[in-house]
Amino acid sequence: MKQILIVEDEDSQRKVLHDTLLQSGYSILEAKDGVQGLNTALREHPDLILLDVRMPLMDGMAMMHALRQNPWGKNVSIIIFTNYDNTEAQLVQITADQPSYYLLKANTPLETIIEKVKEVLG
């Protein structure tokens, strides 16, 4: 069974993703901030990370960059999602760490997120 780590500080968003992905047959791990997410990812080695950008303690960009410095984390699949539009400089940073997808929460229905997860995980 493929394992997904959801790193999201909003409880309601995390719960919706958790419940939907669980019903789709995935094993789910959760983290409420980037520090917890990084520690969980490096310990558990999930197949995919759904990563929010804006979070306390360590934002998603810093977490993704830290993962890419790790031998395992260098190649882990990551889908970035956020409620915020990003500046050009932030987009350069996002693409430098090579996420599988970058999705705006407000413009992306839950069904599309699930489609992208299935696409990334095969």
pLDDT of residue 71: 94
Mode of pairing for the β-strands spanning 77-82 and 48-52: parallel
**What are the beta bridge partners of residue 13?**
none
Look at residue 107 and tell me whether its pLDDT is greater than 60: yes
- The 10 Å Cβ neighbour count of residue 88 is 7
Question: What percent of the chain is modeled with pLDDT above 90?
Answer: 46
Q: What pTM was computed for the model?
A: 0.84
Fold of the 3-121 domain: Rossmann fold (3.40.50)
Express each pLDDT in 22-40 by its tens digit: 999 999 999 999 999 999 9
Give the residue from 58, 41, 55, 43 showing the smallest Cα distance to 4: 41
Domain map (residue ranges) of the chain: 3-121
